[in-house]
Amino acid sequence: MKLFAHPKCLTEAIAPVITLNNLMGLRVFKYRGQPRPILSLIYLLFLYCLYCNGSLYWTEEYYMDIKLLKLEYFLYTMLNNIIIYLTLVKLLLGWWYSKKFNDCYKHIFEIDETLRQLGSTVNYDRIYFITIGVMTTWFTFNFCTCIVVFIVMRLHSNLYTTIGTLVVYSYGLAVNSISIFDFYIFVKYLQMRFDLINQLLHEHSMLSTKKIKLGFFEMQDYTKIMDDEQRCSFSINMLSQWCQQIQSKENIFISKKRKLQIQSRFSNQDSPSHFQKQFQGKFQNRSQQQNSVLTECQKRKYLLQIIKQVHLQLCKVAKTVCFILGVQTAFEIAVIIMFLTGSLYNIYIRYIAPQYKITDSLLQQTAVTIIVNSFHLLKIIFLSRVCKHAADKGNKTIEIIYSIYGCDTESGVQEEIQQFGIQILQNPVKFSAYGISLDNHVLTMMLKAVTTYLVIMIQVSNSLESNKTIQNA
């Protein structure tokens, strides 16, 4: 695919992210058109072994060169070990759920094809430019952070240790950031499709006479409507024939009684054939009117059935995304809480509690930590916002349907509206990460956790520093 070309499907729009996932070992890559899970697993374990050994060796050597408080040394060591193990979990989960990712792409392709056949304009330009912008911003931020970390670490470490630590840091940051961005891309796609469904309902509030194609989701009720229409037209034709027979018998009786008068009258303009033509014309007009009414009701019901199926498929994709990326996102939220707690603790012991003697190098280290934490915090803020907007768009569909079709007196349309409402009530659009609701409340939850852990850390730190039996780091 050429740069800045119009992507034709979602996989082309997020091709840079898919390539980065394969390079980091988070997905099963393909070789000669076939997936290679065993080779991908070997590649994954090879990368993780390099990352684990480098992270344990170089970070330990760096912490030994600088002076840390007792609780600081324990927290940094514990946090480093937690990140190492969580990285392995994320790599294995990404490798295990590669097939489910491909199934999501297939469902997305079917949904988009159905929306195209309904007359909607489906494009991926916005997702593509978001992907390019985020990838460019991420690489720029990572490069600038590596420069700052390199300058800080060169004051206490040799060149070999500094470069190795930067490589380990970059790999860990990439693995932890890609899972969040994958979640963001899928939710952004769902938000755009829910918005497209709502626009489609507004555009078809006054249904035109153009033909609506079936798409990928078959509707059995459509054939029932056609059968009812045929039965109705058949009964009208039978009634017309019965009336014609009665009128012909009556005309024969009158002809026997008044042959001369009747022949003169009917010879001019009132012949039985002329009367039958008028009678048939009246019934044909009524049949056409009734058929037109059935056609409008049929189109409304048919459109609601298709949109109901598309909405249900989007909800299934949302549940699948939350299932395969929820654990990684929950782990990332936990790591961010620990990073924020450590950053606030560093600020406390440097500016609020001046009894501790801190060197300038640790102050620079705190500045680097705050920059990294700000980046992680922005990821959660953007993810929670897009999840909140996508859930609002998806749950708003039933309100639009009731406002447009709520006054329709047809029983078939009312039944479809009720079924659509029950479907949304039973399958509401919501996004969660292993039980953590991804909306505006996630930031409140994180703030409460950080405040609680910070108070505990301050109390524990005071007791540790006052205890002379515990050796310094």
pLDDT band at 104 (very low <50, low <70, confident <90, very high): very high
- The pTM assigned to this predicted structure is 0.77
Residue 79, CA distances (Å) to 72, 86, 193, 221, 353 in order = 10, 10, 39, 58, 23
- For residue 455, what pLDDT is reported? 87
What is the C-alpha end-to-end distance of the chain, expressed in Å? 54
Domain spans of the chain?
A: 10-215+297-329+360-439
Which tokens hold the place of 369?
């930590």
- For residue 226, what pLDDT is reported? 42
When mean pLDDT is compared across 69-73, 124-128, 465-469, the lowest value belongs to: 465-469
User: In the predicted model, what is the mean pLDDT of residues 200-216?
Assistant: 54
The answer to whether the CB of 165 falls within 8 A of the CB of 58 is yes
The answer to whether the CB of 122 falls within 8 A of the CB of 6 is no
- For residue 18, what pLDDT is reported? 92
Cα gap 29→150, rounded to integer Å: 33
- Computed over every residue of the chain, the mean pLDDT equals 76
Name residues whose C-beta falls within 8 Å of residue 297's C-beta, 6 or more positions apart in sequence: 225, 410, 412, 413
- For residue 220, what pLDDT is reported? 41
pLDDT band at 316 (very low <50, low <70, confident <90, very high): very high
User: In the predicted model, what is the mean pLDDT of residues 433-446?
Assistant: 87
Name residues whose C-beta falls within 8 Å of residue 369's C-beta, 6 or more positions apart in sequence: 339, 342, 343, 346
Residue 289, CA distances (Å) to 141, 211, 271, 292, 295 in order = 67, 19, 28, 5, 10
- For residue 344, what pLDDT is reported? 82
- For residue 223, what pLDDT is reported? 41
pLDDT tens, residue by residue, 374-405: 888 888 899 999 999 999 999 988 888 887 76
- For residue 418, what pLDDT is reported? 83
- For residue 292, what pLDDT is reported? 47
Who wins on pLDDT, 70 or 170? Answer: 170
DSSP 2-13: -TTPPPSSHHHH
Please tell me the number of Cα atoms within 13 Å of 151 on its side-chain side: 8
Cα gap 138→148, rounded to integer Å: 15
